Chains A and B, each alone.
Chain A
Amino acid sequence: MLSEYLPVVIQLLIAIGFAAFVLIVTHILGPKRYDPIKHDTYECGVDYYGNAQRKFAIKFYIISVLFVLFDVEVIFLYPWAINLVDLGWQGFWGMFVFLGILTFAILFAWKKGALEWE
């Protein structure tokens, strides 16, 4: 069982090694000519003002919270799906109610305007 996971480690090391190799090689090969204007933040040639780390719309935050909640729901679908034939109708109704509750939840969020982007 555990030897199945060995390739994961190997591939992870290969991928990390590759990314590091590329980043280091390009750093060594490329020329380096410092220029205060070239190394400035690019805002279409206009002088930039302030800092980019400013507050942004709460919409993005709402979407990511909703994503966490529905991600948990989707995860439950997987063990259910591969067992459905053995579980029979009892398993079906169990998931039906669960999906019903969460569909209701998403309709509620929709109705309250949590999914609007104006």
Chain B
Amino acid sequence: MHTELWSLIIEKTIFGVILLAAIMTGAAYVTLAERKVASWFQDRIGPNRAGPLGLLQPLADGIKFFLKEDMIPKNVHKAFYLLAPGIAAIPPLLIAASIPWGNQIELLGKAIKLQMIDLNVGILFIFAFASIGVYGVMLGGWASNNKYSLMGGLRSSSQMISYELAQGTAVVGVLLLAGTLSLDEIVKQQDSLTKWYVWRQPIGFFIFFVASLAELARVPFDLPEAENELVGGYHTEYSSMKFGLFQVSEYIHLIVTSALISTLYFGGWQIPFVDIASNSSFIYGVLGVISLLLKTVFFIFVFMWLRWTLPRFRYDQLMSLGWKFLLEAAFVWIVITAILVLAFPWYKTWF
């Protein structure tokens, strides 16, 4: 019993550390990708000095962040000011751990599941920690004792909580079809191209996608950082790696949200026409991970593409869209899905 427990602890700890390293590297390179994509859209070269094609740029940025002066302005509420970036960084890491990054791989004669946290309330767990993310923003804005920061923090947190509702409701469409809250199960049910939930949940997917954009505070919903109005939003007074943590947590959140969209609507680690679930060999497991990563990269690219395509909303428009359109649309869509599931059993089994 005890050896079993210890082997579980060791396995999960190693997995967690590898995941942390992978996701931090990922976040670093997403920042580079953001700049590269921007330069591509604007027909310029972008970062190209650090290493070939600028590939060492994230490393240089990271080192710079660490070596900058760790400045604590004199008017801040010190304890909360220091706590805020830490609180902001923790929820995305927990969400990352509960996404099934792959099916399983055999290593050293042991089948290892490529999902660190697999709960029977998986989706609720993700929303629980997503809702904790508000605290970092609010606290950062308040503790800075700066009017711009406070306004930025208030705007961000109001926006996040408003769109959380639409996001949470849109997922219910998938749950009606899946009949489970476990993300692992949801992926396993999408075992062929036609069974990807996006085909049966196009409107649910659209609402979820728009709400995710707003949750991430990306264009066209990047009001919290509207630089011409609010300087830098809630992290105006932050410097060095304290600012870096806010930034990193934002990019981890971007990666995790893209992975979540892929998992819920685009089959997660499933590959069309390849049966991964019943094959536990090493190579198939790796193929599954690559499949999910490709889908994730695609959605990250879409988020960046939108950034250079759409103009920014006004704050009242943003709130109207969330409360007066998306939420009601999500309710109607849930009712329609429920009728379809009950009246046409074929809709649930699909072909």
Contact = CB atoms under 8 A, between A and B. Distances in A.
CB atoms of A and B under 8 A apart anywhere in the complex? Answer: yes
Interface of A: 3-8, 10-12, 14-16, 18-20, 22-23, 25-27, 29-33, 36, 38-44, 48, 51-54, 56, 60, 63-64, 66-67, 70-71, 74, 77-78, 81-85, 88-89, 92, 95-96, 99, 103, 106, 110, 115-118
Interface of A is mostly: helix
A81 B174 CA distance: 9
Interface residues of B, number: 84
Nearest to B72: A39
Contact of B68 (A22, A30, A77, A85): A30
Interface of B: 5, 8-9, 12-13, 15-17, 20, 65-75, 82, 85-86, 89-90, 93-94, 97, 116-120, 123-125, 142, 144-151, 154, 158, 161-162, 164-165, 168-169, 172, 175-176, 178-181, 231, 236-237, 240-242, 244-245, 315-316, 319-320, 323-324, 327-328, 331, 334-335, 338-339, 341-342, 348
A67 B68 CA distance: 39
8 contacts: A3-B5, A4-B117, A30-B66, A40-B74, A48-B147, A63-B162, A70-B327, A92-B339
A11 B172 CA distance: 27
A82 B179 contact: yes
Contacts of A5: 119
B144 A52 contact: yes
A85 B17 contact: no
Given A18-B93, A96-B335, 13 more contacts: A3-B8, A7-B117, A11-B94, A12-B90, A15-B20, A22-B244, A23-B245, A25-B241, A38-B71, A41-B237, A42-B236, A56-B154, A110-B323
A103 B151 CA distance: 30
A83 to B, nearest CB: 8
B146 A43 contact: yes
Contact of A53 (B72, B145, B324): B145
